[in-house]
Structure 1
Amino acid sequence: MRIKQSFARSFLNEFKLRKFGFNYNHLDQFYRSQWQSKERSVYFLLYKWIWACFFISVFTASLVLQLSGGKLFIFLTNWGIILCLLTQISGAVLATRWHFNSGGARSVVIEARTLKEPPPTPKLVQFYWWCHGVGLSLALIITTVYWIFLHGKMNKPMRYPVLSFVTHCLNSVFMLVDFFVVAFPVRVLHVIYWMLLPIIYYLFTVVYFIAGGLDEYGNHYVYPILDWTTPARAITTFAGVFVLYVIYAIILFALSKFKRYLSRTLNAMDSPHAIGLI
């Protein structure tokens, strides 16, 4: 019962004007894992670069196999891979700076803990936080919509099924794993920023359709569910995606709280005083 009340208070507390922003007092959470007990972790550093290399490889394979005269960039799936790539590269850079104290990154954050007025959140940290939210939510949307509405219904051959599986399934798996590893929180109101990318993409599909754009197989739409010859279906898709964004924002916030609760519980069990709890 106490956990439910705590979650309810935390959820309601999210709806404050300052929660729209990207300032955060505990900056070390952007450089470290939720699960590491020491200031530095070589395992977390290696993990971040492995994840970055994975998305670099996926994007490179997409460029080599599916560029098709630039048609690669008309698909939201590939926009999502680019966001995941930017997320993991920026996260790996931050983890590297923290591990080696590059530019005094670790020293500044540790010193800031003693200050009444914490320093402003660095731009790279804000960019990483934004990218992580946008990339994770978009990956979940892509996976959900593709496997429910598009798989086997694209009116085109699947030339690279392994790559398709990676970009429509493993993208979400890898980003969700990363979500459970990193330490920084989810802001419910950040869903507004998450939604900006699909808004831009939907406007792009309208302009692309009006301009007579075609996919690599000559279809006059990018995705069948965004065929603007039937506007009602496209608008319904548009609305449905935004409902999914709200649902995922609430789920991710709840999972974030659960992750932090689990981390604190495990740390308490590992403490010297845990014997008193047995």
Structure 2
Amino acid sequence: MQMKQSFGRSLLNEFKLRKFGFKHKHLDQFYQSQWQSGVRSFYYLLYRWIWALFFISVFTVSLVLQLSDGKFFIFLTNWGIIACMLAQLSGAILVTRWYYNLGSARSTVMEEKMLKEPPPTPRLIKFYWLVHGAALALALVITTVYWKYLHGKMDKPNRYPVMSFITHCLNSVFMLVDFWLVAFPVRLLHIIYWMLLPIFFYIFTVFYYFAGGSDEYGHPYVYPILDWTVPMRALTTFAGVFILYVIYGIALFSLSKFKRYLSRTVSAMDSPHAIGLI
């Protein structure tokens, strides 16, 4: 009951004008895992760089295999991989700065935290917060749309099935694992920013179509469900993607709250005073 009331208050609190922004008073949450016990963790630092190098490798291999005179960049799947790579790389840089206290990143945050003064949010943290949410939501949408509407239904061969599986399935799996480990929150109003990527992409596909663009096999579209020779189908796809964004945004917000509740419960059980809870 208490958890439901807390969630209800958090939900109402999300619809405030300041929640559009990227200011946050608990900056340590962007440098630490939700589940680490100490101020810094070598294992979390190692994890961040493994994840960053993985997505850098996926992007590099995909680019080499699928460049096709620049057509690599016309596909939303590849936009999603780039977003994942930027999110993981910026996260790795932040945790490295925190672990080694580069530029007094850790000492500054801890001092201001003790003084209970909300510190200014650095631009790299704002970027990380934005691109992480955008990459996660886009990965989930790409996975859903691909396996529901595109897999086996595109008029071209699947030349690289392993890379296709990584970029259309494991992208979501890995981003969800990362979402479960990070400590910073999800803000519902940030969904509006997440939607900018598909908006730009759909505008791009319209201009690309009227400019006579095609995919690597000469089809007059980027994806068959975005064939602008059939405008109603393309518009329906556009609307469906935005519905998915809202659904996934609410789900991620709810899971973020549950994750924080579970973390506090585990921390309380591990506390030396936990016997008082029995």
TM tier, smaller: over 0.9
> Counterpart in 2 of 1:22?
22
Shift of 1:115: 3.3
Shift of 1:190: 0.1
The SS at the match of 2:39 is coil
Q: Which amino acid aligns with 2:13?
A: N
> Counterpart in 2 of 1:222?
222
Match runs of 1:1-278 below 5 Å? 1-278=1-278
Q: Which amino acid aligns with 1:253?
A: F
Shift of 1:182: 0.4
TM-score (ref. length: structure 1): 0.99
Supply the distance in 1 between the matched residues of 2:18 and 2:270 (Cα, whole angstroms): 35
Q: Which amino acid aligns with 1:73?
A: F
Computed over aligned residues only, the root mean square deviation of the Cα atoms, in angstroms, reads 0.7
Structure 1 unaligned segments of length 5 or more: list them: none
Shift of 1:116: 4.7
Deviation digits for residues 23-49 of structure 1 (CA, Å, limit 9, x no counterpart): 000000000000001001000000000
Q: Which amino acid aligns with 1:47?
A: Y
Shift of 1:17: 0.1
TM-score (ref. length: structure 2): 0.99
Shift of 1:114: 2.9
The SS at the match of 2:114 is coil
Q: Which amino acid aligns with 1:242?
A: F
Supply the distance in 2 between the matched residues of 1:143 and 1:116 (Cα, whole angstroms): 42
Q: Which amino acid aligns with 1:265?
A: T
Deviation digits for residues 193-252 of structure 1 (CA, Å, limit 9, x no counterpart): 000110000000000000000110000000000000000000010001001101111000
Aligned residues between the structures: 278
Supply the distance in 1 between the matched residues of 2:247 and 2:51 (Cα, whole angstroms): 26
Structure 2 unaligned segments of length 5 or more: list them: none
